[in-house]
Structure 1
Amino acid sequence: MIFRKLFGGAREAEAGAAIAVVRNVTIGRSVRLDPLAWRRLGPEARFRLDHDVLTVTAQGRIDLGADGFVHRFYTDDHLMLQVVSPDADGRGAQDFTLFLPWSSAWPPDARARRVWADRLRAPAFEDEGLPAFRRYWFGDADAIQEPVSFWEDVYDDRSGRHARRIYQTCMLFARDLPGEGRELLLAIAMEPEGGDLTHEVMVGIPLDIGEFEA
Protein backbone atom coordinates (compact mmCIF):
# COMPACT_ATOMS: atom_id res chain seq x y z
CA MET A 1 0.00 0.00 0.00
CA ILE A 2 1.08 3.56 -0.61
CA PHE A 3 -0.69 5.63 2.02
CA ARG A 4 2.54 6.98 3.42
CA LYS A 5 3.62 8.14 -0.04
CA LEU A 6 0.28 9.88 -0.45
CA PHE A 7 0.84 12.12 2.58
CA GLY A 8 2.71 14.65 0.43
CA GLY A 9 2.16 18.32 -0.30
CA ALA A 10 2.76 19.71 3.17
CA ARG A 11 1.26 23.09 4.03
CA GLU A 12 1.16 25.24 7.11
CA ALA A 13 -1.92 24.69 9.28
CA GLU A 14 -3.67 27.65 10.90
CA ALA A 15 -1.73 29.23 13.75
CA GLY A 16 -2.58 27.69 17.09
CA ALA A 17 -4.17 24.58 15.60
CA ALA A 18 -3.73 21.33 17.50
CA ILE A 19 -4.87 17.81 16.75
CA ALA A 20 -7.65 16.22 18.76
CA VAL A 21 -7.25 13.43 21.30
CA VAL A 22 -10.26 11.18 20.75
CA ARG A 23 -11.01 8.66 23.49
CA ASN A 24 -7.34 8.95 24.48
CA VAL A 25 -6.20 8.07 20.93
CA THR A 26 -3.67 10.31 19.16
CA ILE A 27 -0.24 10.21 17.52
CA GLY A 28 2.37 8.34 19.54
CA ARG A 29 -0.09 6.28 21.56
CA SER A 30 -0.98 2.61 21.29
CA VAL A 31 -4.48 1.26 20.85
CA ARG A 32 -5.30 -2.17 22.19
CA LEU A 33 -8.00 -4.07 20.32
CA ASP A 34 -10.23 -6.91 21.42
CA PRO A 35 -9.39 -9.62 18.83
CA LEU A 36 -12.88 -11.08 19.23
CA ALA A 37 -14.05 -8.11 17.17
CA TRP A 38 -12.87 -9.94 14.03
CA ARG A 39 -12.42 -13.52 15.19
CA ARG A 40 -16.11 -13.84 15.96
CA LEU A 41 -16.90 -13.13 12.29
CA GLY A 42 -15.78 -16.62 11.31
CA PRO A 43 -13.86 -18.04 8.34
CA GLU A 44 -15.90 -16.21 5.69
CA ALA A 45 -14.58 -12.81 6.76
CA ARG A 46 -11.81 -11.26 4.65
CA PHE A 47 -10.78 -8.96 7.50
CA ARG A 48 -7.91 -10.76 9.24
CA LEU A 49 -5.43 -9.25 11.66
CA ASP A 50 -2.56 -11.07 13.38
CA HIS A 51 -1.98 -8.54 16.16
CA ASP A 52 -4.14 -6.61 18.60
CA VAL A 53 -2.07 -3.47 19.31
CA LEU A 54 -1.94 -0.47 16.96
CA THR A 55 0.73 2.23 17.25
CA VAL A 56 -0.60 5.51 15.86
CA THR A 57 1.95 7.35 13.70
CA ALA A 58 -0.31 9.74 11.73
CA GLN A 59 -3.70 11.31 12.29
CA GLY A 60 -6.30 12.77 9.94
CA ARG A 61 -9.33 15.00 10.27
CA ILE A 62 -12.20 15.49 7.82
CA ASP A 63 -14.68 18.32 8.23
CA LEU A 64 -18.07 17.24 6.86
CA GLY A 65 -19.80 20.50 7.75
CA ALA A 66 -23.26 19.91 9.18
CA ASP A 67 -22.59 16.15 9.20
CA GLY A 68 -19.77 16.46 11.73
CA PHE A 69 -16.16 15.31 11.67
CA VAL A 70 -14.23 12.17 10.86
CA HIS A 71 -11.06 11.45 12.85
CA ARG A 72 -8.64 8.89 11.41
CA PHE A 73 -5.66 7.25 13.12
CA TYR A 74 -3.03 5.52 10.97
CA THR A 75 -0.29 2.99 11.67
CA ASP A 76 2.93 2.34 9.76
CA ASP A 77 1.37 -0.84 8.35
CA HIS A 78 -1.49 1.24 6.95
CA LEU A 79 -4.30 0.22 9.28
CA MET A 80 -6.85 2.95 9.91
CA LEU A 81 -9.00 3.43 13.00
CA GLN A 82 -11.84 5.78 12.06
CA VAL A 83 -14.08 7.69 14.45
CA VAL A 84 -17.10 9.81 13.49
CA SER A 85 -18.11 12.63 15.83
CA PRO A 86 -20.47 15.63 15.69
CA ASP A 87 -17.71 17.85 17.10
CA ALA A 88 -14.16 18.76 16.06
CA ASP A 89 -12.55 17.53 19.28
CA GLY A 90 -14.19 14.11 19.12
CA ARG A 91 -15.88 14.28 22.52
CA GLY A 92 -19.18 13.11 21.03
CA ALA A 93 -17.62 10.21 19.12
CA GLN A 94 -20.34 7.74 18.23
CA ASP A 95 -19.20 5.56 15.33
CA PHE A 96 -16.02 3.45 15.25
CA THR A 97 -14.56 1.35 12.45
CA LEU A 98 -11.25 -0.36 11.76
CA PHE A 99 -9.94 -0.75 8.20
CA LEU A 100 -6.98 -2.56 6.69
CA PRO A 101 -5.63 -2.09 3.16
CA TRP A 102 -6.72 -4.58 0.51
CA SER A 103 -5.50 -3.20 -2.82
CA SER A 104 -3.91 -0.07 -4.25
CA ALA A 105 -3.23 1.00 -7.84
CA TRP A 106 -2.28 3.98 -9.95
CA PRO A 107 -4.78 4.34 -12.82
CA PRO A 108 -2.77 4.28 -16.07
CA ASP A 109 -5.09 6.48 -18.13
CA ALA A 110 -8.36 8.42 -18.27
CA ARG A 111 -10.33 5.31 -19.17
CA ALA A 112 -9.21 3.56 -15.96
CA ARG A 113 -10.29 6.60 -13.96
CA ARG A 114 -13.73 6.57 -15.61
CA VAL A 115 -14.17 2.86 -14.94
CA TRP A 116 -13.30 3.39 -11.27
CA ALA A 117 -15.75 6.28 -10.99
CA ASP A 118 -18.49 4.05 -12.41
CA ARG A 119 -17.65 1.34 -9.87
CA LEU A 120 -18.03 3.82 -7.02
CA ARG A 121 -21.51 4.79 -8.29
CA ALA A 122 -22.74 1.22 -8.68
CA PRO A 123 -24.99 -0.57 -6.13
CA ALA A 124 -22.38 -3.31 -5.60
CA PHE A 125 -18.59 -3.50 -5.60
CA GLU A 126 -16.23 -6.40 -6.22
CA ASP A 127 -12.45 -6.61 -6.15
CA GLU A 128 -9.98 -9.40 -6.78
CA GLY A 129 -10.18 -11.95 -4.00
CA LEU A 130 -13.35 -10.45 -2.52
CA PRO A 131 -17.04 -11.37 -2.73
CA ALA A 132 -19.59 -8.74 -3.73
CA PHE A 133 -20.31 -5.94 -1.25
CA ARG A 134 -23.57 -3.99 -1.46
CA ARG A 135 -23.64 -0.22 -1.23
CA TYR A 136 -24.02 0.85 2.41
CA TRP A 137 -24.28 4.61 2.01
CA PHE A 138 -27.60 5.63 0.44
CA GLY A 139 -28.81 2.02 0.17
CA ASP A 140 -30.08 0.43 -3.05
CA ALA A 141 -32.88 2.90 -3.78
CA ASP A 142 -31.15 4.12 -6.95
CA ALA A 143 -29.09 1.96 -9.28
CA ILE A 144 -26.58 4.79 -9.62
CA GLN A 145 -25.53 6.98 -6.68
CA GLU A 146 -22.88 9.69 -6.56
CA PRO A 147 -19.99 9.04 -4.14
CA VAL A 148 -18.88 11.39 -1.37
CA SER A 149 -15.94 13.79 -1.79
CA PHE A 150 -13.92 15.66 0.85
CA TRP A 151 -10.48 16.90 1.88
CA GLU A 152 -8.59 15.19 4.68
CA ASP A 153 -5.92 17.02 6.68
CA VAL A 154 -3.25 14.57 7.84
CA TYR A 155 -0.71 15.26 10.60
CA ASP A 156 2.51 13.42 11.42
CA ASP A 157 3.09 14.99 14.85
CA ARG A 158 0.90 16.18 17.70
CA SER A 159 1.75 19.86 17.36
CA GLY A 160 -0.70 20.26 14.50
CA ARG A 161 1.59 22.83 12.85
CA HIS A 162 1.81 21.04 9.51
CA ALA A 163 -1.07 19.45 7.64
CA ARG A 164 -0.89 17.36 4.51
CA ARG A 165 -4.02 17.46 2.42
CA ILE A 166 -5.58 14.58 0.49
CA TYR A 167 -8.66 14.92 -1.73
CA GLN A 168 -10.83 11.80 -1.68
CA THR A 169 -13.90 10.55 -3.48
CA CYS A 170 -15.27 7.39 -1.90
CA MET A 171 -18.16 5.05 -1.31
CA LEU A 172 -18.80 2.63 1.54
CA PHE A 173 -20.09 -0.88 0.86
CA ALA A 174 -20.95 -3.72 3.24
CA ARG A 175 -21.91 -7.37 3.39
CA ASP A 176 -23.60 -9.39 6.09
CA LEU A 177 -21.89 -12.44 7.53
CA PRO A 178 -23.44 -15.46 9.28
CA GLY A 179 -24.96 -14.55 12.60
CA GLU A 180 -24.95 -10.82 13.22
CA GLY A 181 -21.58 -10.04 11.68
CA ARG A 182 -20.92 -7.34 9.09
CA GLU A 183 -17.87 -6.56 6.99
CA LEU A 184 -17.21 -3.21 5.31
CA LEU A 185 -15.45 -2.12 2.13
CA LEU A 186 -14.25 1.43 1.52
CA ALA A 187 -13.40 2.24 -2.12
CA ILE A 188 -11.52 5.50 -2.62
CA ALA A 189 -10.14 7.66 -5.41
CA MET A 190 -7.37 9.48 -3.54
CA GLU A 191 -5.24 12.41 -4.66
CA PRO A 192 -2.85 14.30 -2.36
CA GLU A 193 -1.90 17.90 -3.07
CA GLY A 194 1.08 17.74 -5.38
CA GLY A 195 0.80 13.95 -5.75
CA ASP A 196 -0.68 11.31 -8.02
CA LEU A 197 -4.20 9.88 -8.05
CA THR A 198 -4.56 6.32 -6.75
CA HIS A 199 -7.42 3.87 -6.36
CA GLU A 200 -7.62 2.29 -2.91
CA VAL A 201 -9.70 -0.53 -1.45
CA MET A 202 -9.88 -1.10 2.30
CA VAL A 203 -11.73 -3.85 4.16
CA GLY A 204 -13.06 -3.10 7.61
CA ILE A 205 -15.25 -3.97 10.54
CA PRO A 206 -17.41 -1.89 12.89
CA LEU A 207 -16.12 -1.66 16.45
CA ASP A 208 -18.10 -1.38 19.65
CA ILE A 209 -16.90 1.26 22.08
CA GLY A 210 -15.64 -1.48 24.43
CA GLU A 211 -13.57 -3.24 21.77
CA PHE A 212 -10.63 -0.84 21.82
CA GLU A 213 -8.78 1.31 24.35
CA ALA A 214 -5.71 3.56 24.40
Structure 2
Amino acid sequence: MLNTLKALFRANTQPSPEQSQGRPVAAGLPTGISQEDLEGLRLDGRVNIKLIGLRAHADALFSWDDDAYYHIAAVGHVDLGQDAHLVRFYLDNDTWLQANIENGQVLEYKLFDFYRVAHLSDAEFDKMINGDDKTSDRIGAQAITLASTADETRTGTFQRVWGDTESLWSPPVIFEEQVMTTESVVARRVTHHAMLYERTIQGTERMEYLLLSAETDGEDSFMLVQNVGVDVASVDIDAV
Protein backbone atom coordinates (compact mmCIF):
# COMPACT_ATOMS: atom_id res chain seq x y z
CA MET A 1 0.00 0.00 0.00
CA LEU A 2 0.41 3.44 -0.59
CA ASN A 3 3.69 5.25 -0.96
CA THR A 4 1.59 8.28 -1.91
CA LEU A 5 0.01 8.17 1.54
CA LYS A 6 3.28 9.01 3.26
CA ALA A 7 2.27 12.62 2.64
CA LEU A 8 -1.50 12.25 2.64
CA PHE A 9 -1.63 10.69 6.09
CA ARG A 10 -0.08 13.80 7.63
CA ALA A 11 -3.42 15.54 7.19
CA ASN A 12 -5.72 15.65 10.22
CA THR A 13 -8.84 13.57 9.82
CA GLN A 14 -12.13 15.17 10.81
CA PRO A 15 -14.65 12.42 10.08
CA SER A 16 -18.37 13.00 10.33
CA PRO A 17 -21.00 10.28 10.69
CA GLU A 18 -22.45 9.16 7.39
CA GLN A 19 -26.06 8.03 7.26
CA SER A 20 -27.54 5.69 4.72
CA GLN A 21 -30.82 6.76 3.17
CA GLY A 22 -32.40 3.47 2.16
CA ARG A 23 -28.91 2.00 1.68
CA PRO A 24 -28.13 3.52 -1.72
CA VAL A 25 -25.78 1.79 -4.16
CA ALA A 26 -23.09 4.35 -3.27
CA ALA A 27 -23.35 3.65 0.49
CA GLY A 28 -20.01 4.23 2.18
CA LEU A 29 -18.42 6.14 -0.73
CA PRO A 30 -17.08 9.70 -0.39
CA THR A 31 -19.24 12.53 -1.69
CA GLY A 32 -18.64 12.99 -5.41
CA ILE A 33 -17.29 9.45 -5.94
CA SER A 34 -19.52 6.91 -7.69
CA GLN A 35 -19.21 3.18 -8.27
CA GLU A 36 -18.35 4.00 -11.89
CA ASP A 37 -15.25 5.81 -10.61
CA LEU A 38 -14.31 2.61 -8.74
CA GLU A 39 -14.53 -0.01 -11.51
CA GLY A 40 -18.17 -0.66 -10.55
CA LEU A 41 -17.33 -1.70 -6.97
CA ARG A 42 -20.28 -1.22 -4.59
CA LEU A 43 -21.76 -2.35 -1.31
CA ASP A 44 -23.61 -5.68 -1.72
CA GLY A 45 -21.97 -6.25 -5.11
CA ARG A 46 -19.54 -8.99 -6.13
CA VAL A 47 -15.99 -8.84 -7.43
CA ASN A 48 -13.40 -11.06 -9.10
CA ILE A 49 -9.75 -9.98 -8.96
CA LYS A 50 -7.01 -11.46 -11.14
CA LEU A 51 -3.51 -11.71 -9.64
CA ILE A 52 -1.81 -13.46 -12.52
CA GLY A 53 1.39 -15.25 -11.60
CA LEU A 54 1.25 -14.74 -7.85
CA ARG A 55 0.79 -18.47 -7.16
CA ALA A 56 4.07 -19.20 -8.93
CA HIS A 57 6.16 -17.36 -6.33
CA ALA A 58 6.80 -19.49 -3.26
CA ASP A 59 8.24 -16.50 -1.40
CA ALA A 60 4.89 -14.68 -1.38
CA LEU A 61 3.02 -14.74 1.94
CA PHE A 62 -0.16 -13.47 0.29
CA SER A 63 -2.29 -16.02 -1.59
CA TRP A 64 -5.39 -15.58 -3.72
CA ASP A 65 -7.99 -17.52 -5.72
CA ASP A 66 -8.19 -15.89 -9.16
CA ASP A 67 -11.34 -17.75 -10.15
CA ALA A 68 -13.90 -16.82 -7.50
CA TYR A 69 -16.29 -13.88 -7.20
CA TYR A 70 -16.65 -12.51 -3.68
CA HIS A 71 -19.50 -10.62 -2.04
CA ILE A 72 -18.77 -7.03 -0.90
CA ALA A 73 -20.22 -7.20 2.60
CA ALA A 74 -19.12 -3.76 3.85
CA VAL A 75 -17.57 -0.51 2.64
CA GLY A 76 -15.23 1.64 4.73
CA HIS A 77 -14.32 5.29 4.14
CA VAL A 78 -11.36 7.21 5.58
CA ASP A 79 -11.33 10.98 4.96
CA LEU A 80 -7.66 12.00 5.00
CA GLY A 81 -8.40 15.67 4.37
CA GLN A 82 -7.27 17.84 1.44
CA ASP A 83 -9.64 15.87 -0.87
CA ALA A 84 -7.80 12.60 -0.22
CA HIS A 85 -9.67 9.42 0.73
CA LEU A 86 -9.32 5.71 1.28
CA VAL A 87 -12.24 3.48 0.34
CA ARG A 88 -12.16 -0.12 1.54
CA PHE A 89 -14.34 -2.89 0.14
CA TYR A 90 -14.58 -5.74 2.67
CA LEU A 91 -15.13 -9.13 1.03
CA ASP A 92 -16.73 -12.27 2.43
CA ASN A 93 -13.46 -14.25 2.31
CA ASP A 94 -11.78 -12.08 5.00
CA THR A 95 -9.93 -9.86 2.52
CA TRP A 96 -10.41 -6.22 1.54
CA LEU A 97 -9.69 -4.14 -1.53
CA GLN A 98 -8.56 -0.56 -0.92
CA ALA A 99 -8.76 2.38 -3.32
CA ASN A 100 -6.52 5.39 -2.72
CA ILE A 101 -8.30 8.49 -4.06
CA GLU A 102 -7.01 12.03 -4.45
CA ASN A 103 -8.87 14.95 -6.05
CA GLY A 104 -11.57 12.60 -7.30
CA GLN A 105 -9.11 10.27 -9.07
CA VAL A 106 -8.22 6.72 -8.04
CA LEU A 107 -4.44 6.57 -7.73
CA GLU A 108 -4.03 2.90 -6.90
CA TYR A 109 -5.61 -0.27 -5.53
CA LYS A 110 -4.27 -2.65 -2.90
CA LEU A 111 -5.72 -6.03 -1.89
CA PHE A 112 -5.21 -7.06 1.73
CA ASP A 113 -5.81 -10.23 3.71
CA PHE A 114 -6.71 -10.19 7.42
CA TYR A 115 -3.60 -12.34 7.95
CA ARG A 116 -3.74 -12.60 11.72
CA VAL A 117 -6.06 -11.01 14.28
CA ALA A 118 -5.34 -10.90 18.02
CA HIS A 119 -8.00 -9.69 20.44
CA LEU A 120 -6.65 -7.43 23.18
CA SER A 121 -7.76 -6.26 26.59
CA ASP A 122 -8.15 -2.54 27.24
CA ALA A 123 -4.84 -2.55 29.14
CA GLU A 124 -3.01 -4.46 26.39
CA PHE A 125 -4.32 -2.07 23.77
CA ASP A 126 -3.28 0.98 25.79
CA LYS A 127 0.22 -0.44 26.31
CA MET A 128 0.56 -1.21 22.61
CA ILE A 129 -0.19 2.33 21.44
CA ASN A 130 1.10 4.34 24.43
CA GLY A 131 3.73 2.15 26.15
CA ASP A 132 7.36 3.16 26.48
CA ASP A 133 8.68 -0.31 25.54
CA LYS A 134 9.29 0.08 21.79
CA THR A 135 10.40 -3.50 21.04
CA SER A 136 11.27 -4.82 17.59
CA ASP A 137 7.87 -6.47 17.12
CA ARG A 138 5.77 -3.45 18.06
CA ILE A 139 3.80 -1.22 15.71
CA GLY A 140 6.22 1.44 14.48
CA ALA A 141 9.38 -0.69 14.62
CA GLN A 142 11.86 -0.13 11.78
CA ALA A 143 11.38 -3.68 10.45
CA ILE A 144 8.96 -6.52 11.14
CA THR A 145 9.49 -10.22 10.40
CA LEU A 146 6.26 -12.09 9.72
CA ALA A 147 5.80 -15.87 9.59
CA SER A 148 3.61 -17.47 6.96
CA THR A 149 0.23 -18.73 8.19
CA ALA A 150 0.68 -21.79 5.97
CA ASP A 151 4.24 -22.65 7.09
CA GLU A 152 5.67 -20.81 10.09
CA THR A 153 9.20 -21.78 9.11
CA ARG A 154 8.81 -19.48 6.09
CA THR A 155 9.05 -15.78 6.89
CA GLY A 156 9.25 -12.38 5.23
CA THR A 157 10.92 -9.25 6.59
CA PHE A 158 9.15 -5.95 5.89
CA GLN A 159 10.68 -2.46 6.12
CA ARG A 160 8.73 0.49 7.51
CA VAL A 161 7.33 2.90 4.89
CA TRP A 162 5.97 5.73 7.07
CA GLY A 163 8.01 7.86 9.43
CA ASP A 164 11.73 8.61 9.66
CA THR A 165 13.57 5.80 7.86
CA GLU A 166 16.60 6.21 10.16
CA SER A 167 14.62 5.96 13.40
CA LEU A 168 14.37 2.57 15.14
CA TRP A 169 10.75 3.39 16.00
CA SER A 170 8.13 5.80 14.65
CA PRO A 171 4.67 6.46 16.13
CA PRO A 172 1.68 4.87 14.40
CA VAL A 173 -0.56 6.93 12.12
CA ILE A 174 -4.00 7.49 13.63
CA PHE A 175 -7.09 7.69 11.42
CA GLU A 176 -10.80 7.00 11.68
CA GLU A 177 -12.87 4.88 9.35
CA GLN A 178 -16.63 4.94 8.81
CA VAL A 179 -17.91 1.46 7.90
CA MET A 180 -21.25 0.72 6.24
CA THR A 181 -22.81 -2.73 5.85
CA THR A 182 -25.95 -3.84 4.06
CA GLU A 183 -27.73 -3.68 7.44
CA SER A 184 -26.31 -0.31 8.52
CA VAL A 185 -28.56 2.57 9.53
CA VAL A 186 -25.56 4.71 10.50
CA ALA A 187 -21.87 4.11 9.89
CA ARG A 188 -19.79 2.25 12.46
CA ARG A 189 -16.67 4.16 13.47
CA VAL A 190 -13.33 2.35 13.82
CA THR A 191 -10.15 4.06 15.06
CA HIS A 192 -6.88 2.71 13.63
CA HIS A 193 -3.35 3.13 15.02
CA ALA A 194 -1.51 1.90 11.94
CA MET A 195 1.93 1.48 10.38
CA LEU A 196 2.75 0.39 6.84
CA TYR A 197 5.66 -1.91 5.85
CA GLU A 198 6.78 -3.33 2.49
CA ARG A 199 9.15 -5.83 0.91
CA THR A 200 9.95 -7.15 -2.57
CA ILE A 201 8.81 -10.72 -3.27
CA GLN A 202 11.94 -12.66 -4.20
CA GLY A 203 12.44 -13.20 -7.92
CA THR A 204 9.80 -10.65 -8.91
CA GLU A 205 9.21 -6.92 -9.22
CA ARG A 206 6.02 -7.29 -7.19
CA MET A 207 5.81 -5.63 -3.79
CA GLU A 208 4.16 -7.20 -0.76
CA TYR A 209 2.81 -5.04 2.07
CA LEU A 210 2.23 -5.45 5.78
CA LEU A 211 -0.21 -3.07 7.44
CA LEU A 212 -0.20 -3.37 11.23
CA SER A 213 -3.25 -1.83 12.86
CA ALA A 214 -4.30 -1.62 16.50
CA GLU A 215 -8.04 -1.04 16.21
CA THR A 216 -10.97 -0.12 18.43
CA ASP A 217 -14.61 0.52 17.61
CA GLY A 218 -15.31 2.48 20.80
CA GLU A 219 -17.43 -0.38 22.16
CA ASP A 220 -14.81 -2.13 24.29
CA SER A 221 -13.52 -4.12 21.31
CA PHE A 222 -9.74 -3.95 20.86
CA MET A 223 -7.55 -5.92 18.46
CA LEU A 224 -4.22 -6.04 16.66
CA VAL A 225 -4.58 -6.89 12.98
CA GLN A 226 -1.76 -8.01 10.68
CA ASN A 227 -2.87 -7.28 7.11
CA VAL A 228 -0.77 -8.64 4.23
CA GLY A 229 -1.41 -7.22 0.76
CA VAL A 230 -0.31 -6.70 -2.82
CA ASP A 231 -0.88 -4.21 -5.63
CA VAL A 232 -3.87 -4.65 -7.95
CA ALA A 233 -4.29 -3.10 -11.40
CA SER A 234 -7.69 -1.60 -12.20
CA VAL A 235 -7.96 -3.77 -15.32
CA ASP A 236 -7.76 -6.87 -13.11
CA ILE A 237 -10.94 -5.91 -11.19
CA ASP A 238 -14.25 -7.29 -12.46
CA ALA A 239 -17.12 -5.97 -10.32
CA VAL A 240 -20.77 -6.91 -10.85
TM class by shorter chain equals: 0.7 to 0.9
Q: CA deviation at 1:66?
A: 2.1
Report how far residue 51 of structure 1 moved.
Answer: 4.5
Quick check: 2:125–2:222 contact (8 Å CA) kept in 1?
no
| Aligned match of 2:110 | 97
Match of 2:58 in 1: 43
144, 161, 165: which is aligned to 1:136?
A: 161
2:140 to 108, 111, 121: 121
1:28 partner SS: coil
Structure 1 residue 112, shift from structure 2 partner = 6.6
Q: What is the Cα deviation at residue 78 of structure 1?
A: 1.6
Find the aligned partners of 2:51 and 2:161 in 1 and give their Cα distance.
24
Q: How many residues were matched structurally? A: 199
Equivalent pair of 1:37/1:207 in contact (CA under 8 Å): no
Query: Structure 1 residues 154, 108: CA separation in 2 closer, same or farther (over 3 Å shift)?
Result: closer
C-alpha spacing 1:48/1:32, structure 2 compared with 1 (3 Å): same
Determine the C-alpha separation between the residues in 2 that align with 1:79 and 1:102.
Answer: 9
Structure 2 portions without partners, runs of 5+: 1-15, 30-34, 149-154
The reply to whether residue 19 of structure 1 matches residue 44 of structure 2 is: no
Alpha-carbon shift at residue 116 of structure 1 (Å): 6.6
RMSD of the alignment, in Å?
Answer: 2.6
TM-score by length of 1: 0.81
Aligned partner of residue 47 in structure 2, secondary structure = strand
With structure 2 as the length reference, what TM-score do the two structures score? 0.73
Match 2:230 to one of 199, 205, 212: 205
1:38-77 CA distances to partner (integer Å, 9 max, x unpaired)? Answer: 335x111010123442221100000011261000000122
Report sequence identity in percent.
25
* Partner residue, 2:220: 195
Counterparts of 1:157 and 1:36 in 2: how far apart (Å)? 31
The CA deviation at 1:110 is 3.2
Structure 1 residue 204, shift from structure 2 partner: 0.5
Structure 1 unmatched runs, 5+: 1-10
Encode CA deviations 1:104-158: one digit per residue, 9 max, x unaligned: 1122463575357631121111234332211122362322212111110000139
